[in-house]
């Protein structure tokens, strides 16, 4: 296993043909998970959120010889895989080409992969700043995993595999990308500190997923309410989450601040 992981993180000859095949496979797999696996299941998460895409992005970066190569290959990987996810689903989904309404977010992510991968390549330098660079991704995994925990507790076993994935990949990245202690310590400390801060904030406020049980649906609008009145950011997260879960919602989203909660209106089905 150790030799396999060492080869995986820096020992692969990642040619352009291999990269394209990898991108196509990931696109097809993600589309299948989106169509066949229900929402809330960990295997569906790759079609919705970013944490599962961290692993392929890092594998591409650490198996490149130059920063520009890493940037180009990561960008092309996302440029192929993300639209493919929607192209495959179009014939089988009632929304048809309307599914591409979800693509702008992933297109922005795709654009960001170029500078992110260029900078990310410097993880290979194995310096203290390499740990800082990796901590951006490990912190994303840590906070995402913590966020999933709240939902899993309430709706077990939702997102359980995603939680395990998030917290297992963090030490694997730190151990097998770096050889020197300095970047390992730097990445570990930053990740732990951010995770603790995020956990503290989550405990001291209502987690977005908790709002599900306190959501009032009416024919003309959706008003988010709840006894504990979570902050507006949490409620906005719930609005986005609800819209993702209900693709049949076709009206333009308009969030109107009302006291300490937003109102989403109108709603047409």
Write out pLDDT tens, residues 232-242: 555 666 666 66
Q: What is the pLDDT of residue 40?
A: 86
Mean pLDDT lowest among 91-105, 221-235, 252-266: 221-235
For 131-155, the pLDDT digits (tens) are 999 999 999 999 999 999 988 998 8
Q: Is residue 39 within 8 Å of residue 159, measured between CB atoms?
A: no
pTM comes to: 0.76
Q: Side by side, which strands form the sheet with 222-224?
A: 215-217, 222-224, 261-264, 255-258
Mean pLDDT lowest among 44-53, 180-189, 234-243: 234-243
Task: Return the higher-pLDDT residue of 262 and 88.
Answer: 88
Helices (H), 179-231: 181-203
For 86-141, the pLDDT digits (tens) are 999 999 988 899 999 999 999 999 999 999 999 999 999 999 999 999 999 999 99
Q: Mean of the pLDDT values across residues 71-78?
A: 98
- Indicate the domain borders of the chain: 2-203, 208-264
């Amino acid at each position: 296993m150790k030799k396999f992981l060492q080869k995986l993180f820096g020992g692969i000859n990642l040619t352009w043909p291999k990269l394209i095949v990898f991108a196509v496979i990931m696109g097809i797999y993600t589309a299948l998970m989106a169509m066949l696996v229900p929402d809330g299941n960990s295997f569906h998460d790759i079609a919705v959120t970013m944490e599962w895409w961290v692993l392929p992005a890092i594998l591409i970066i650490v198996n490149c010889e130059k920063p520009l190569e890493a940037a180009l290959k990561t960008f092309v990987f996302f440029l192929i895989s993300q639209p493919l996810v929607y192209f495959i689903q179009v014939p089988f989904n009632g929304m048809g080409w309307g599914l591409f309404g979800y693509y702008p977010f992933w297109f922005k992510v795709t654009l960001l992969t170029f500078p992110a991968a260029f900078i990310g390549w410097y993880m290979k330098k194995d310096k203290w700043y390499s740990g800082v660079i990796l901590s951006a991704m490990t912190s994303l995994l840590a906070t995402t995993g913590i966020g999933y925990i709240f939902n899993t507790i309430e709706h077990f076993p939702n997102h359980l595999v995603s939680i395990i994935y998030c917290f297992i990949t963090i030490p694997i990245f730190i151990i097998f990308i770096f050889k020197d202690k300095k970047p390992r310590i730097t990445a570990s400390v930053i990740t732990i500190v951010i995770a603790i801060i995020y956990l503290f904030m989550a405990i001291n406020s209502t987690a977005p997923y908790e709002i599900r049980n306190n959501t009032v649906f009416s024919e003309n609008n959706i008003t988010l309410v709840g006894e504990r009145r979570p902050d507006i950011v949490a409620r906005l997260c719930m609005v986005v989450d609800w819209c993702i879960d209900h693709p049949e919602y076709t009206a333009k989203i308009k969030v109107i601040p009302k006291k300490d909660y937003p109102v989403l209106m109108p709603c047409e089905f």
